[in-house]
Amino acid sequence: MTVITFDDNLITGNKTIDEQHKELIDRIQQFVSACESEDARVKAIKMLDYLDEYTEFHFKEEEKLQKDVDYPGLEEHIKKHEEFRHTIKELYDYLDENEGPDEKFMEQVKSMLLTGCLVISRHLTDL
pLDDT tens string 54-94: 889 989 998 998 999 999 989 988 998 898 888 889 889 99
Instruction: Give buried/exposed letters for 63-101 (b at 16+ CB in 10 A, else e).
Output: eeebeeeebeeeeebeebbeebeebbeebeebbeeeeeb
7-34 per-residue burial string, b: 16 or more CB within 10 A, e: under 16: eeebbbebeebbebbeebbebbbbbbbb
- What is the predicted pLDDT for the residue at 124? 58
Q: What is the pLDDT of residue 33?
A: 80
Q: Could you say which DSSP state residue 27 is in?
A: H
- In the chain, pLDDT over 90 holds for what percent of residues? 15
